[in-house]
Amino acid sequence: MNFFAILNILILLILLSVLFYMQKKHISFSKRVFTGLGLGVLFGAILQLFYEPSSEVITVTNDWFGLVGSGYVKLLQMIVMPLVFISIVAAFTKLEKSANLGKISGLVIGTLLITTAISAGIGIAATAGFDLKAIDVNAGDAEILRGQQLEETLGEVQSTTVPQKILSFLPANPFQDLTGARPTSTIAVVIFAAFVGVAFLGIRRKNPEQAAFFQKIVEALHTVVMRIVTLVLRLTPYGILALMAKTVAGSNFDAIVKLGKFVIASYVALIAMFIVHLIILAVMGLSPKQYLKKVWPVLTFAFTSRTSAGTMPLNIEAQKNKLGVPESIANFSASFGVSIGQNGCAGIYPAMLAVMIAPTQGINPLSPSFIATLIIVVMISSFGVAGVGGGATFATLIVLSTLNLPVALAGVLISVEPLIDMGRTALNVSGSMVSGVVTSKTLGELDTKQYHSNEVDTAENIA
């Protein structure tokens, strides 16, 4: 192995030991996450000064960095399906009245879809406002390769009809879907868990003793899964340090600068949609300031980890213990938010790309008919979006293929994908939490006293 690669690995180990020392000194989780983020960016930037992103040293270095960074992501992926399944089933066992099931599900899903439609509209406006066009972006070798990969993936998506796509949501083999084998596995697991929950409600009416026994099993499993989640989340500062160092060291900053206009437009749209979330809460008679204070640690984690599903434990904890949302509703909104109506990945991003690519096919992206069609397609395609990586790509492929737009041009954004994905993920999680708060307030089950209290140490309760 190259001497300089070994040196880089040793430096990473030293930085990881700094985070371990901070943990031993009981420094707060949020501070450790931000420290990991800062050290990762700084270390990656230093590597950029000494080596080319495509150099052998960086290639070998990043390969070893992946043991920590990619290993952390794999552990997050490991817990996603068990967490989604047990959270949904546990939500059913905590329902006091089965009649509330339809109202809760309808309000949560409805809020997620409506906010996704709004986010698509904001994405369209941002793209038009910044005059973004895919044809104006110069594609390098990496971008061309990415475009070819998207076209290959598109072949699988296009080969299925709309009825077949809907059928793909159903869990023909729930055990296979629990492995995350399919792009739609997450929503399939949600559906399977819902069937288990509905069956439980039926048994509770006819055989309360058996239902009580099953409920104890579910509570025990939920406790074990949440403990596993806690163990994984404690690795977050280390994983983020390695991921950011790898991302920054291997990034082509010249390409990022060329796409700076798209990055700025994306974050303008993301921030605008986040403001919409705050406006929705204000209209409901709730303090946007209190919401922001209490969910900030959760959004920070989502931003740095880039995983909506991995943020589920913090999401549920914040809703339940900080925002005054009943646990059953918090479980529903967090679980549905992983696979339905993600405002960032399934709303803003596909809409922006569709508007950018449409002119290459002689389509006026600002015509009322195109905008209406795009928003409807975005809402429908937001079902089944994966919560850990690849969700935005999957949603974009469905949107572009449905509108008969070429997908290869979407590959030109590969160099800024990680940077934008951070903001998208944070917005996804915020949309999920807002849906839980809106549902609780609408049903009169929100603990407003708890919502307006001044407790804010959300992240410390779980990691």
- pLDDT per residue as tens digits for the range 176-188: 888 877 767 777 8
How would DSSP label each residue in 2-54? -HHHHHHHHHHHHHHHHHHHHHHTT--HHHHHHHHHHHHHHHHHHHHHHS-TT
pLDDT of residue 192: 92
The model's confidence at residue 140, banded by pLDDT at 50, 70 and 90, is low
The whole-angstrom separation of Cα 412 and Cα 202 is: 52
The model's confidence at residue 1, banded by pLDDT at 50, 70 and 90, is low
CA atoms within 13 A on the CB side of 88: 25
The whole-angstrom separation of Cα 434 and Cα 20 is: 34
Q: How far is CA 65 from CA 3, 57, 240, in A?
A: 16, 12, 11
Per the model's pLDDT, the better-predicted residue between 391 and 71 turns out to be 71
Which has the closest alpha carbon to 307: 72, 30, 102, 82? 72
Question: Is the pLDDT confidence value at 158 over 60?
Answer: no
Q: How far is CA 404 from CA 82, 178, 407, 444, in A?
A: 36, 32, 9, 44
CA atoms within 13 A on the CB side of 255: 19
Question: Is the pLDDT confidence value at 375 over 90?
Answer: yes
The count of other CB atoms within 10 Å of the CB of residue 450 is: 15
pLDDT of residue 402: 81
The whole-angstrom separation of Cα 414 and Cα 256 is: 9
Question: Is the pLDDT confidence value at 463 over 60?
Answer: no
Do 262 and 40 contact (CB within 8 A), yes or no? no
Q: Copy the structure tokens of residue 354.
A: 């569709």
The model's confidence at residue 338, banded by pLDDT at 50, 70 and 90, is confident
Return the exposure string of 157-192: e unless at least 16 CB atoms fall within 10 Å of the residue's CB, then b: beeeeeeebeebbebeebeebbebebbbbbbbbbbb
pLDDT of residue 22: 92
The model's confidence at residue 96, banded by pLDDT at 50, 70 and 90, is low
The whole-angstrom separation of Cα 218 and Cα 201 is: 13
**Angle between helix 100-129 and 417-442 (nearest 10):** 140
**Helix/strand/coil for 360:** helix
Average predicted confidence (pLDDT) for the chain: 84
Per the model's pLDDT, the better-predicted residue between 84 and 458 turns out to be 84
- Longest CA span, the chain: 70
> Which pLDDT tens digit goes with each residue over 11-65?
999 999 999 999 999 888 878 888 998 999 899 989 988 888 778 888 889 888 8
The whole-angstrom separation of Cα 254 and Cα 214 is: 58
The model's confidence at residue 94, banded by pLDDT at 50, 70 and 90, is confident
Return the exposure string of 258-273: e unless at least 16 CB atoms fall within 10 Å of the residue's CB, then b: bbeebbebbbebbebb
Which has the closest alpha carbon to 261: 359, 378, 405, 134? 134
The whole-angstrom separation of Cα 302 and Cα 315 is: 9
The whole-angstrom separation of Cα 235 and Cα 36 is: 11
Please classify residue 378 by burial: count the beta carbons closer than 10 Å to its beta carbon, then call 0-12 exposed, 13-18 middle and 19+ buried: buried
Lowest mean pLDDT among 37-41, 285-289, 364-368, 403-407: 403-407
- The percent of residues in the chain predicted with pLDDT above 90, rounded, is 34
> Which pLDDT tens digit goes with each residue over 283-298?
999 999 999 999 988 8
pLDDT of residue 458: 47
The whole-angstrom separation of Cα 66 and Cα 195 is: 38
Question: Is the pLDDT confidence value at 409 over 90?
Answer: no
Question: Is the pLDDT confidence value at 351 over 90?
Answer: yes
The count of other CB atoms within 10 Å of the CB of residue 31 is: 12
Find which of 248-257, 334-343, 415-424 is predicted with most confidence, using mean pLDDT. Answer: 334-343
For the entire predicted model, the pTM comes to 0.81
- CATH 1.10.3860.10 corresponds to the domain 3-461: yes
- The percent of residues in the chain predicted with pLDDT above 70, rounded, is 86
Which has the closest alpha carbon to 117: 334, 297, 300, 340? 340
The model's confidence at residue 435, banded by pLDDT at 50, 70 and 90, is very high
Q: Copy the structure tokens of residue 141.
A: 């070798």
Q: Mark out the alpha helices in 137-259 (DSSP H runs).
A: 141-158, 162-167, 174-177, 185-206, 208-233, 236-249, 253-258
pLDDT of residue 81: 85
Lowest mean pLDDT among 139-148, 164-173, 277-286: 139-148
Q: Copy the structure tokens of residue 116.
A: 């996704």
Q: How far is CA 94 from CA 100, 157, 199, 286, 442, in A?
A: 11, 38, 14, 25, 19
Question: Is the pLDDT confidence value at 461 over 60?
Answer: no
Backbone angles phi, psi at 133, to 5 degrees: -140, 135
Question: Is the pLDDT confidence value at 117 over 60?
Answer: yes
Per the model's pLDDT, the better-predicted residue between 383 and 217 turns out to be 217
Q: Copy the structure tokens of residue 137.
A: 């972006």
CA atoms within 13 A on the CB side of 391: 35
Question: Is the pLDDT confidence value at 128 over 50?
Answer: yes
Question: Is the pLDDT confidence value at 234 over 90?
Answer: no
The whole-angstrom separation of Cα 184 and Cα 195 is: 17
The whole-angstrom separation of Cα 235 and Cα 183 is: 26
299-310: average pLDDT: 80
